[in-house]
Amino acid sequence: MGLKFVFELSDEDLAYFRGVFEDHRPGAGVEIRIEEVAEATEKLIAQARSRRAPPFILEKLEQLKPLVAMVTDPEWRLPEQEVRRVLEALAWFADPADLIPDDLPVFGYLDDAMMVEVALQGLAPELEAFRDFCEFREAELERRKVAGTSSTEVSRADWLDSRRKELQETMRSRRRSIFGF
């Protein structure tokens, strides 16, 4: 029988962890390359798996994959400011010098799992918009496949561009209402 371990972070606790997260983000003007951060994130997940991290840790780390997909998806075309915000969050996980060394048995990835939650909460509008875009893209592709398309119809680039713009504006509106920026 499993053991359920639950703890709740107060607003003060969350502010503390957000502060730690912010303090470890790259500074202004520091170049963060998408390819490097994506590769480092995948490497972190692979290392955790090879070091036999507990399943609940692996489950949390797997939640970073949509963030990587968001900045690498050529059709999503996230604007530079939002790409930077996502990359800064992912850079935390790419940095081997985190709060608890990853090679520490049992607890090595615990800080990473906690910070995944902080990152996901901070990027909730971006994640929701990206998921909506992916769902739309799949549904629209299927709809057009079933209906059959002709060369006179709206191109894939046009219908994706229209939906992308709509979702990214919704994303910014949600961010302003939740976070004030």
How far is 95 from 124, CA to CA, in rounded Å?
A: 22
Quick check: is 7 in a domain?
no
Quick check: is 5 in a domain?
no
**Encoded amino acid at 146, one letter:** V
Share of the chain residues as helix, strand and coil, in percent rounded to the nearest 5 = 65, 0, 35
Quick check: is 82 in a domain?
yes
Quick check: is 78 in a domain?
yes
Residue pLDDT tens, the chain, 181 long: 777 777 777 888 878 877 877 777 665 567 788 999 999 999 999 999 999 888 989 999 999 999 999 999 999 999 999 999 999 899 888 776 777 787 887 788 888 888 898 899 999 999 999 999 999 999 988 888 887 765 445 688 888 999 999 999 999 999 999 888 8
Please report the pLDDT score of residue 8 as a whole number.
79
Q: What are the DSSP calls for 80-105, one per residue? A: HHHHHHHHHHHHHHH-S--SS-TTST
Please report the pLDDT score of residue 120 as a whole number.
93
How far is 181 from 178, CA to CA, in rounded Å?
A: 8
How far is 160 from 154, CA to CA, in rounded Å?
A: 10
Quick check: is 6 in a domain?
no
Give the predicted TM-score (pTM) of the model: 0.81
Query: Which residues, other chains included, contact 13 with Cβ-Cβ below 8 Å and sequence gap of 6+?
Result: none
Please report the pLDDT score of residue 154 as a whole number.
67
How far is 22 from 153, CA to CA, in rounded Å?
A: 47
Please report the pLDDT score of residue 67 as a whole number.
96
81 exposed, middle or buried (CB, 10 Å; 0-12, 13-18, 19+)? exposed
Q: Which domain holds residue 158?
A: 24-179
Quick check: is 170 in a domain?
yes
Quick check: is 17 in a domain?
no
Q: What count of Cα atoms within 13 Å lies in the side-chain half-sphere of residue 165? A: 5
Closest CA to 44 of 111, 100, 112, 106: 112
Please report the pLDDT score of residue 92 as a whole number.
84
Sign for the CA dihedral angle at 93, 98, 100, 105 comes to: positive
Query: Which residues, other chains included, contact 69 with Cβ-Cβ below 8 Å and sequence gap of 6+?
Result: 130
Quick check: is 16 in a domain?
no
Structural domain total, the chain: 1
